[in-house]
Structure 1
Amino acid sequence: MSSESTVFRRILGIWDGHDAGAALVEDGRVVAAVSEERFTRIKRQGGFPVHSVAEVLRLGGCGVSDIEGIAVAGQQGRLPARVFDMSYQRMDPGQVDPLSSASRAYAGYQNHIAGLPVIRRLEDWGSQFMLSRRLAHLGFQNAHLQLIDHHIAHAATAIAALETSARPALVVTMDGYGDGRSVTVWRYDTEGAHLLYAAGANASFALLYGALTRQLGFREGEEGKLTGLSARATGQRNLNLRPFLSQEKGALQLDRTRAFATLKRAHDDGVAEADLAHALQSSLEEAVVAFIKVYLRRTGLRNLAVSGGLFANVALNGRLAALDLASFAVAPAMTDQGLCVGAALQMAGQTHASPMPHIRLGSPIDGNEVDPAQIAQLLANGDVIGVARGAMEFGPRALGCRSILFDPRNPALAKRLGERLKRESFMPFGPILCDQDYNSMFDIPRARIDRSSREMTLAIPVSSEMQELAPSAIHVDGTARPQVVDENEDPWLHEVLTHFRGLTRCPMLVNTSFNRHREPIVRSGREALDSALAIGLDAVVIGGELQRFEQPPIGHQAQGAQL
């Protein structure tokens, strides 16, 4: 996993598959990153991210002539999509059933045929040609273009999530597949990353998870609903998937066809969907944790960082966080959204890249801050408030800049908002709390998960005190996805939480992303206002302005159930 010896000062990172986006890295530091879906308003938008490219250049205060290097994620099997960009969403394997004949054919091409030396050379030449034409149309003329391997880009995002003190580290990537691989394991140290293990699409646990997600009626990209559902297993039927999902001496073993056939047959026989989800989730956790423990033992490393779509699974991440580790980090944009960042960081070189301190890397909404005491009082009174302020977050989570906030003490409030958001009843909300309150609310030491505890990337056990204080922020299995707010990172949000605690003795709020059902998170103030009205929020903060609505339809109707 080496990068070219030339060091480029300004690098544009691009990913042109599903969840397309662009990033700008300057002197090894990520200064801007956005996803194309935020501009087109089409969730998981694929294709060349023309809007994102323009936006990161604007945010970085530079023009096309200032870019010295362009790193594009994806080497093997990408040419068909790049040639037929206009029909990309119909042909991309991420948009169809991963076990369908079309998906199998495309997977076969990407993972086998495209890896043949002659085809690979054709792929490389064709991708370089198509991308160069597209970039030239945007005005890029002299920048050096480099294609970056899919899993190397994922690994780079995991490395960027590590604190400097958390190195050397074991780095693991797992996803559906990309560039012929679905799994990689690396040792990362001061000399770079060294590959320890890799496996192709035949070992993709993520494809199996996606197949069951669709079998149960959810859409591609909604695998998190399967995770939420799994905690509600009835226990009436125990399915044994262990013969199909396992690891043997550090090699993953997966019979995806037989495993899915077992699940489908059980579904057809009327087995509860929660039991099916639990069977797969528990088997997945057991196999992946055992697999990673093998490499932790072999290397003697106690720092772990992960990336790739499989690690969007917060329950799995919670299991990993419980291991005896010095530190554990999940790449904040662990799905393919993060590939644009990873590609640029890889081109910058691991020895030149800096840890990514935060994910507020997108389009800003400026303005003086609204009085935090006023916001806390409204929340304590039962208002549900949308917040769109400062720079937009990059990745799948909203962390207080494009969020909806409400009181976690009131289950009726959570239920009503969930209905307005068309959110399944089994999907939990997540808590946001100040750093000084973490230790009394959660059981895993914060020092181990410092970075990930700030980004809602893992579900961990809560204390009995939290169960009493904040029932709306806890899942039925007694876990929650925390976002811990440090005062120096977001003073305004920290102050809102501090005032709310003073008013209610509850040290947290519920934070959920600011978007309508199956829409991307809001980007602009106009989108925030439109979504607030459509959802029926009680109030919205846009930049430095607070707007309350005359007939608050959520908090007002739930007031009678206030705890």
Structure 2
Amino acid sequence: MTAILGISGFFHDSAAVVVVDGEIVAAAQEERFSRIKHDHHFPRQALAYCLEEAGLTTTQLDYVGFYEKPLLKFDRLLQTYVSYSPAGFRSFAKSMPQWLKQKLHLPRIIRRELKGSYRKQIIFTGHHQSHAASAFFPSPFDEAAVLTVDGVGEWSTATYGVGRGNRIDLTHELHFPHSLGLLYSAFTYYCGFNVDSDEYKLMGLAPYGEPVYADLIRKHLIDLKPDGSFRLDMKYFQYCQGLTMTSRHFDRLFGHTRRQPESEWKQHYMDMAASIQLVTEEILLNMVQHLHKMTGMKNLCLAGGVALNCVSNGRILREGPFEKIWIQPAAGDAGGALGTALFLWYQLMNESRKPVLPDAMKGCLLGPAYSTANAAEKLQSLGANFKEISESELLNKAAALLADGKIVGWMQGRMEYGPRALGCRSILGDPRRAEMQSRINQSIKFRESFRPFAPAVLEEFAGDYFKLKSRQSSSYMQFVAEVQPWLLDDPTKTDHTNQSSFQLPAVTHVDHSARLQKVDTDHNPRFAKLLSAFHQLTGCPVLINTSFNVRGEPIVCTPEEAFQCFMSTDMDVLVIEDIILIKDEQP
């Protein structure tokens, strides 16, 4: 038996993964335990969980891997400061204490966190190497083109190459400061959102605007080459030398200053979101076209934070040259922990690899689970009023409540790894009700009203409701697809403001699209059974599926957290394993 621990963090989204003989046994982000969104500290609690789930102690680990090379990252920081000095002194001075006290001493810190009992080698893989490994090795492909795109690792901001069997060969890379991820983050910042966490909000805002600034972006901000590589005009950006993402030249070019967070929305910022989204899609399409031309591969694997842009992924699937696409569900930095562990197993140890269907991620359900008995004990201590019932009764009751317009907190089985709730830590609702989107956004999630919700649809009905390639998997909410025309009152209309006339108004975005999740019994059997029960009752095989949390908090992990979220919002029903709680019956 060979046990490998993969770690990511210290910079963003800490996580831990344990792989035993090539099998992913456990994976979790530190934020789910610490309750600090995007927690960047050492993943102490996530690591403890993974070892416990695997039945291992630190002395039984054969290898420990970290997802990037800190010395190379420090080299980039120093060279950037020298290039921009003295302008970058403030940002340099702000980051130096952390580097000198902690980040340059990661081997020592890792050994200390492992209680000094791990005395074997600690291996540091490259940041984009980790992304590429997380994309290819769990995929169902024996060979595929591999593309990684994010903000920045050590120096690389994008890489591409080929994966074959048990080996990845990255042949080309784009270097900092020229970064698609940072370009998108600059617009995220300009529109009043948080960088490195709210980029998905910018994507959700884009359909409310028109890409009127796309030509300005193409002409002034970026010099795009046919192969997808590009150079940014750095006079418009401040992330190399300042504490902000954009400069005064950026404001002058677009005629407005940065939107203040939480202020009212103006059309200008919606149009900015639409413009950068369109340009991002064009850049990625150029990249994949060139990658296909260079490799001749039929399959494509994606990872890196930009791979979470499911609107772009939808266009790559529809308009790109690849027959099949597989995207790592934990595509951001958290997935680097998995990538480094798999890289050690396959590429460094030269172990054989046999792809499995649908993939090796086990539905991405790799976190903690809590039994009915455990949940009942916790709920009893909290003074909750609940009932324990059989599975069939539970499914029929939950389906009936959903059909009656109730909003259900749904906690089942192992927690999801990565940013998406996939039916184990979810808030569910009836997608046929026009008021459901605003109700969940405002009184449960406490977030912006424009934010869309994902439809979870039984796999056998997905093609009837959404335009997605029939053989393309979408179990992880990674692609946006258009809804089928019959779900719209008039598919040709250009006024998208009245969603009440859509057949599925709560999950149909204003541009007639949806970020769908196909649900099948292999990935999540109980969630599939719930959808089947809802379908039998209503004739609709679709439910709203959004993450079980409120704005600014990580997805819930434990029964206590689920109950607290249930009681502090307008959620109507809570289901934890075989337990059901009704809000009106609580003391």
TM-score by length of 1: 0.85
Using a 3 Å threshold, how does the CA distance of structure 1 residues 481 and 9 change in structure 2: closer, same or farther?
same
3-state DSSP of counterpart to 1:510: strand
2-structure distance, mates of 1:188, 1:276 = 36
Cα pair distance change 1:78/1:480, threshold 3 Å: same
| Closer/same/farther in 2, CA of residues 371 and 157 from structure 1, 3 Å limit | same
Counterpart of 1:558 in structure 2 is none
Q: CA deviation at 1:364?
A: 0.5
Deviation at 1:492, TM superposition (A): 1.6
| Residues 106, 384 of structure 1: alpha-carbon distance in 2 compared, 3 angstrom cutoff | farther
Equivalent position to 2:60, from 57, 66, 69 = 66
Residue 357 of structure 1 aligns with which residue? Answer: 362
Give the Cα–Cα distance (whole angstroms) in 2 for the partners of residues 174 and 102 of structure 1: 28
1:379–1:408 CA distance, 2 compared to 1 (3 A): same
Contact 2:441–2:447 (CA under 8 A) maintained in structure 1: yes
CA contact (8 A) 1:160 1:331 kept: no
State the identity %.
30
Shift of 1:466: 3.7
Q: How does 1:389-428 map to 2 (within 5 A)?
A: 389-420=412-443, 421-428=445-452
Q: Secondary structure at the match of 2:18?
A: strand
* Cα distance in structure 1, aligned partners of 2:73 and 2:283: 34
Tell me the alpha carbon deviations over residues 35-62 of structure 1, each in whole angstroms, 9 at most, x when there is no partner.
Answer: 1101110000012111111110111111
> Aligned match of 1:544 in 578, 583, 587?
578
Cross-structure match for 1:503:
537
CA gap of 1:125–1:480, structure 2 versus 1, over 3 A, is: closer
Question: What is residue 263 of structure 2 aligned with on the other side?
Answer: none
**Mapping 1:524-563, distance limit 5 Å:** 524-550=558-584
What does residue range 253-332 of structure 1 map to in structure 2 within 5 Å? 253-258=230-235, 263-265=250-252, 266=254, 268=256, 272-322=268-318, 323-332=320-329
Conservation of the 8 A alpha-carbon contact between 2:161 and 2:169? yes
* 1:198 corresponds to: 173
Distance 1:102 1:440, change over 3 A: farther
Matching residue's letter, 2:108:
F
Counterpart of 1:433? Answer: 457
Q: Which amino acid aligns with 1:422?
A: F
Choose from 208, 224, 227 the match for 2:183. 208
Alignment correspondent of 1:54:
48
Counterpart check, 1:153 vs 2:148: no
Deviation of residue 78 (structure 1)? 7.3
1:463 partnered with 2:484: yes
Q: Which amino acid aligns with 1:54?
A: A
CA distance in 1, matches of 2:90, 2:328: 27
Q: Distance in 1 between matches of 2:280 and 2:305?
A: 14
C-alpha separation in 1, matches of 2:276 and 2:322: 26
Shift of 1:361: 0.3
d(CA) in 1 for partners of 2:430 and 2:236? 42
Q: Determine the structure 2 residue equivalent to 1:142.
A: 119
Determine the structure 2 residue equivalent to 1:341.
338
**TM superposition shift of 1:184:** 0.7
Among 33, 36, 42, the alignment partner of 2:36 is 42
How many angstroms apart in 2 are the aligned matches of 1:316 and 1:416?
A: 28
Q: How big is the shift at 1:80?
A: 7.2
User: 3-state SS of the aligned residue for 1:537?
Assistant: coil
Following superposition, the deviation at residue 404 of structure 1 comes to 0.2
What 5-or-longer segments of structure 2 have no aligned partner? 81-86, 238-246, 258-265, 373-389, 489-501
Gapped regions of structure 1 (runs ≥ 5): 1-7, 82-92, 94-99, 553-563
Counterpart contact for 1:404–1:514, Cα < 8 Å = yes
Partner SS for 1:382: coil
CA distance in 2, matches of 1:414, 1:316: 23
- Relative to 1, partners in 2 of residues 1:108 and 1:36: Cα closer, same or farther, differing over 3 Å? closer
Query: Hey, what does 1:560 align to over in structure 2?
Result: none
Deviations 1:55-94 (A, max 9, x none): 101111111222111111121347879xxxxxxxxxxx9x
Displacement of 1:129: 3.4
**8 Å Cα contact 2:228/2:290 also seen in 1:** no
Q: Distance in 2 between matches of 1:39 and 1:224?
A: 23
**Distance in structure 2 (CA, Å) of the matches to 1:178 and 1:38:** 24
1:177 aligned to 2:152? yes
In the TM superposition, residue 439 of structure 1 has moved relative to its aligned partner by: 1.2
Amino acid at match of 2:180: F
Query: What amino acid is the match of 1:176?
Result: G
Residue identity matched to 1:227: M
CA distance 1:374–1:249, change in 2 (3 Å):
same
Letter in 1 for 2:435: A
Which position in structure 2 is the counterpart of 1:4? Answer: none
Taking structure 1 as reference, are residues 432 and 466 closer, same or farther at Cα in structure 2, changes over 3 Å only?
Answer: farther
C-alpha deviations, 1:408-438, integer Å up to 9, x for none?
Answer: 0112122111102122122110000111101
Residues 211, 275 of structure 2: 8 Å contact kept: no
| TM-score in terms of structure 2 length | 0.81
SS of 1:454's partner is coil
CA RMSD of aligned residues (A): 2.8
Tell me which amino acid in the other structure corresponds to 1:491: P
**1:338-391 deviation line (CA, Å, top 9, x unaligned):** 111111111111554563332100010223746211111110011100011110
Displacement of 1:234 = 4.3
Q: Which amino acid aligns with 1:535?
A: T
Q: CA 1:543–1:305 in structure 2 vs 1: closer, same or farther (change >3 Å)? A: same
Q: Residue type matched to 2:484 in 1?
A: S
The answer as to whether partners of 2:394 and 2:580 remain within 8 angstroms in 1 is: no
The 3 A distance-change label for structure 1 pair 43 and 352 is farther
**Hey, what does 2:222 align to over in structure 1?**
245
Per the TM alignment, residue 313 of structure 1 is displaced from its structure 2 partner at its CA by 1.1
Letter paired with 1:345: L
Which letter does structure 1 place at the counterpart of 2:231? L
Structure 2 Cα separation of the partners of residues 495 and 16 of structure 1: 37
Secondary structure, in 3 states, of the residue corresponding to 1:444? coil
Is the 2:36–2:554 Cα contact (8 Å) retained in structure 1?
yes
Measure, in 2, the Cα distance between the counterparts of 1:155 and 1:520. 26
Is 1:222 aligned with 2:187?
A: no
Paired residue type of 1:253: F
Given residue 152 of structure 1, which amino acid in structure 2 is its aligned partner?
Answer: Q
C-alpha contact (below 8 Å) 1:462/1:478 kept by paired residues: yes
* CA displacement 1:468-498 (0-9 Å, x = unmatched): 4311111111111111111233222112111
Contact 1:267–1:276 (Cα < 8 Å) also in 2? no
- Using a 3 Å threshold, how does the CA distance of structure 1 residues 256 and 534 change in structure 2: closer, same or farther? farther
Bigger shift: 353-362 or 100-109?
100-109
CA distance in 2 between counterparts of 1:176 and 1:374 reads: 45
* Deviation string, structure 1 residues 291-339 (Cα, Å, up to 9, x no partner): 2211101211120111001111111111111123221011100010111
Q: 1:358 to 1:290 in 2, by over 3 A?
A: same
SS where residue 14 of structure 1 aligns? strand
> What residue in structure 1 maps to residue 108 of structure 2?
129
2:479 aligned counterpart, secondary structure: coil
**CA distance in structure 2 between the aligned counterparts of 1:187 and 1:25, rounded to whole angstroms:** 23
Verify the 8 A CA contact 1:184 1:195 in the aligned structure 2.
Answer: yes
Q: Which secondary structure state, in structure 1, belongs to the residue aligned with residue 145 of structure 2?
A: strand
| Corresponding residue of 1:10 | 3
Secondary structure (helix, strand or coil) at the match of 2:399 reads helix
Counterpart Cα distance in 2 of 1:61 and 1:145: 21
CA deviation after TM superposition for structure 1 residue 133, in Å: 3.4
What one-letter code is carried by the residue in structure 1 that aligns with 2:113?
Answer: R
